[in-house]
Amino acid sequence: MKPAAFSYERARNVDEAISALARDPDAKILAGGQSLVPMMNMRLARPSRLVDLNGIRELAAIAAAADGGLTLGAMVRHTELTTSSLVRERAPLIAAAAAHIGHRAIRNRGTLGGSIAHADPAAELPAVLLALDATIVVAGPAGRRRFAAGAFFVGLLTTELAQDEIVVGVEIPPSPPGWGFAELTRRAGDFAIAGVAGVLGHDGLARLAGFGVDDRPIRLRGAEAALASGDARAAGGAAAGEAHPADDVHASAEYRRHLVSVLTEAVVNDARERLAHAHGGARAASEAAAR
């Protein structure tokens, strides 16, 4: 099928994009188009106007933050998240997760902001932002607003983003050295049947997030609490109890709960291994400096 008729506007800056959305309540943002265009072709979406963000260079920046974290523009492509040395150094969980998104052609066009705004509950990046305690920055006619990732995603394909607002970037705080990511798909490039992302710090901090197991990415707080006993298997069991998956043609809810348990245990073990490696490297560096 082909999309219904629409007009097209290429914004030169964020203000122009916001103005276009304010003038036309049926307008939609075009970023990578990897979700919107197929929906338009199937007539599931019928925007009257597409407002193209691809000409706004300021939204494509990857920058180091003074506190050791990162700022990422909404138009950063998934491929750039996997290849950027700065992302791989300061937020390796993002780089690892982005490599699982779709196929190379999709990663080359798809954008961070598009994934956030679309808010598919089986998407990797929203859950990763939840695990990293990221802040999502949006802009609209009244200025800019900042949301903790946990407050931004509110339901199935639903966020706090207003019709006349756009996602402009993400602020990533310094990442703990322990991290893990795991998902199960039917085939490479498919959406996850279930997945888990998490981080562990030397101070005992643990943040775990599940995706594909609820109507939005969810913090697995019970699993985080279970880690206080040091038992990764107990954390997996707690995660299964926190998930609220649905049955569909790909998997039953029971199977998804089993998966989130197994994947949580795997993520915790991977994160612990990386944490131990980082601790060993820091100790060796300290001993070498003392000699």
Q: List the pLDDT tens digit at each of the 291 positions of the chain.
A: 799 999 999 999 999 999 999 999 999 999 999 999 999 999 999 999 999 999 999 999 999 999 999 999 999 999 999 999 999 999 999 999 999 999 999 999 999 999 999 999 999 999 999 999 999 999 999 999 999 999 999 999 999 999 999 999 999 999 999 999 999 999 988 999 999 999 999 888 899 999 999 999 999 999 999 998 889 999 999 999 999 999 999 999 999 999 999 999 999 999 999 999 987 765 544 544 444
Considering only CA atoms, which of 53, 49, 51 is closest in space to residue 6? 49
Half-sphere exposure of 50 (CA within 13 A, CB side): 18
How far apart CA 282 and CA 197 sit, in angstroms, is 24
pLDDT of residue 230: 83
Considering only CA atoms, which of 11, 29, 185 is closest in space to residue 102? 185
pLDDT of residue 1: 74
Which CA distances in Å does 68 have to 60, 65, 71, 174?
20, 6, 10, 5
State the DSSP string of 53-73. Answer: -TT-GGGG-EEE-TTS-EEEE
Domain 178-285 sits in CATH at 3.30.390.50
pLDDT of residue 285: 45
Domain limits of the chain? 7-51+60-172, 178-285
pLDDT of residue 203: 84
pLDDT of residue 291: 45
The answer regarding whether domain 7-51+60-172 maps to CATH 3.30.465.10 reads: yes
Task: Tell me if 31 sits within 8 A of 74, measured CB to CB.
Answer: yes
Sheet holding 166-172, edge to edge: 62-64, 70-73, 166-172, 135-140, 143-148
pLDDT of residue 247: 95
User: What 8-state DSSP symbol labels residue 198?
Assistant: E
DSSP alpha helix (H) spans, the chain: 14-23, 36-41, 78-83, 85-90, 92-98, 104-109, 112-118, 124-131, 149-152, 221-226, 232-242, 253-290
Please give the helix or strand (H or E) that residue 211 lies within, else none: strand 206-211
Q: How is the chain split among helix, strand and coil, in percent rounded to 5?
A: 40, 25, 35
**pTM summary value:** 0.94
Q: Is 73 left (phi over 0), alpha (psi -120 to 50) or beta?
A: beta
**Looking at the DSSP assignment, which residues form a beta bridge with residue 130?**
none
What are the φ/ψ torsions at residue 115 (nearest 5 degrees)?
-65, -40
Torsion of CA 223, 228, 234, 240, to 10 degrees: -10
